[in-house]
Chains A and B, each alone.
Chain A
Amino acid sequence: MNTRKFIERIGEKTIDAIEEVGYHFSLLVESFYWLLVGPFVKQPVRLRNIFSEMMKIGVLAIPVVILLSFSNGVMMAIQGIVTLQEFDAESQVVPGIAYSVTREFGVLITAIVVAGRSGSAIAARIGSMQMSQEIDALRVMGIEPVRHLVAPIIFSMLVMMPILTIMADSAALIGGGLYTGIVLKLSLGTFIDRCFDVLVVYDVMQGLYKSLIFGVLIALVACSNGFSVSGGAEGLGKATTRSVVISIAMIVMADMIFTYFLSR
């Protein structure tokens, strides 16, 4: 009896999960539809909305992203030098930092910051609009909620995530460079020069591709959790938490898969 219930529950959860993925996908398709086709059917995605999302998602996240990435760069330099000293190879710390920052940690930190800052805010905003029937109000005015709310978010993510990632990369390299400079008596200029010696466009692009995917993931998870809010303030809180947890989990797992295919 109990095992049957258990298996049933697993089955239900699986179906729920598949449905959710399907819903994410349809949100994505719809958003692109409105971004591309909207202007021709008198349902354009408004620049006003796009700019305000860019501001919230991107510009306001810059200080945190830079602070965290800078710290991360310093940490990597500390750990790298300590580890490499054992092999008398501490000068190899430069390529080590350069690769892992551009391919991996710049974008990862950016994505986690954006998921925490914007993912939760988006889920809360759409969720409270759902609760107060603002979404219904949009619909009955003949305004497609996905076009009005989701499409600008997706678009802004696609623009801002790469920009934030480049800032994060730079901040981390500067952080790593400053620490390395102090410890190994290497000027920041030399450090950066050596970074550029080892880095190829592909390394940086790898981070940027990922940033696009992560941005879309964050947007879709946040929006779908917002739209599915039911059951008052408690439901709203749950949806907000859920969207952050799920998007960070998905980011880390997706990152692992990407790294496997892109970095070997």
Chain B
Amino acid sequence: MVVESESTKDESVIDVQDLVTYYGTRKILDQVNLKVRSGEIMVIMGGSGSGKSTLLRHMLALNQPAAGAIRLFGKDPSKLSAPQLHAIRQRMGVSFQNGALFNSLNVEENVAFPLREHTRLDENTIRIMARMKLEVVNLAGFEKLMPSQLSGGMVKRAALARAIVMDPSLLFFDEPSAGLDPVVSADLDELILRLRDAMKVTIVVVTHELDSAFRIADRILVLDKGKVLILGTVDEVKSSDNKRVQNLLNRKSEDVIVNPDEYLQRLTDDLAGL
């Protein structure tokens, strides 16, 4: 909303064009189009297995699209040399769905890891910066614990601290608040908003939590079985008259049985071959 007036000129940090992707022969994403503008918070929603994490992996250039293209900061990652890709990736921070903390390092070393690898700061500065980020996610005092000693929510927060330690200009959170208690999760929303407002970070968040999505999002993308169901502002999504969108918002099962014959067919499908 804030940048609406400027959005006429192409400011997209991420540009996903007609993305199609498969795992094996199963189509996971189908013709996904998405532009993430500089400084906005884009929330990706959708049922479990709808392809949210997969879309994220494409935006991180971890997966290669079967068709379509991705642009990060205006560049196609598959056409970049390794050093160029590294340079782009150092401007990005990622917190994976399962945290992906380094199990052989303790919390503080995990958070300090990108600094150690990419900067020439001295040891004390690095540790202070790591502790600052741990403060931000309310993990002060847990520096010396190993990842296996953390609770699920603590893993999430440590991963978050690691994602923001290099002060990236593009941030990805896969399910940041899943498994967190409501207070911490609200804190996290605050943090996300603050990061955007204070540092103009562009943020892509995958989440299941409706409240959280409506609180933080500038725009929302809803995926359904690999297709874009709707892409719009919070108000646009809320007032959509698409039935599936409304089902999602009202937390109704999307697979309300429409046709009994089809249902029966589905149950007996595999048996025919036996």
Contacts and interface: CB of A to CB of B under 8 A. Distances in A.
B31 interface: no
B117 A134 contact: no
A137 B102 CA distance: 9
Interface string B107-122: 0000001100110000
A125, A139, A142 pick with most chain B CB within 10 angstroms: A142
A56 to B, nearest CB: 12
A41 B98 contact: no
A181 B202 CA distance: 77
A191 to B, nearest CB: 46
Contacts of A143: 86, 117
B92 interface: yes
B96 interface: yes
A203 interface: no
A141 B117 contact: yes
B102 A140 contact: no
B86 A43 contact: yes
B92 to A, nearest CB: 6
B82 A144 contact: yes
Nearest to B97: A133
Contacts of A140: 60, 62, 89, 92, 94
B87 interface: yes
Contacts of A41: 82-83
A90 interface: no
Nearest to B62: A136
A129, A139, A140 pick with most chain B CB within 10 angstroms: A140
Contacts of A136: 57, 60, 62, 96, 100
Contacts of B94: 137, 140-141
B85 interface: yes
A146 to B, nearest CB: 10
Given A132-B103, A134-B102, A137-B102, A142 B86 contact: yes
A43 B94 CA distance: 20
A137 B104 CA distance: 14
Interface string A151-173: 00000000000000000000000
B60 to A, nearest CB: 5
A127 to B, nearest CB: 12
B70 to A, nearest CB: 14
A142 B104 CA distance: 19
Contact of B62 (A43, A139, A144): A139
Contacts of A142: 85-90, 118
Contacts of A134: 100-103
A12 B88 CA distance: 39
A164 to B, nearest CB: 24
Given A142-B118, A143-B117, A137 B86 contact: no
A128 interface: yes
Contacts of A139: 60, 62, 89
Nearest to B166: A141
Contacts of B85: 142
B36 to A, nearest CB: 16
Contacts of B86: 42-43, 142-144
A216 B149 CA distance: 35
Nearest to B95: A137
A128 B103 CA distance: 9
Nearest to B85: A142
Contacts of B90: 141-142
Contacts of B100: 132-134, 136-137
Nearest to B86: A142
A141 B114 contact: yes
Contacts of A42: 83, 86, 118
B87 A133 contact: no
Nearest to A46: B117
Contact of A133 (B88, B98, B117): B98
13 contacts: A133-B98, A134-B102, A137-B102, A139-B60, A140-B60, A140-B62, A140-B89, A140-B94, A141-B94, A141-B113, A141-B117, A142-B85, A142-B86
Given A136-B96, A142-B86, 17 more contacts: A41-B83, A43-B83, A125-B104, A129-B102, A134-B101, A134-B102, A136-B60, A137-B102, A139-B89, A141-B113, A141-B114, A141-B117, A142-B87, A142-B88, A142-B90, A143-B86, A144-B82
Interface of B: 57, 60, 62, 82-83, 85-90, 92, 94, 96, 98, 100-104, 113-114, 117-118
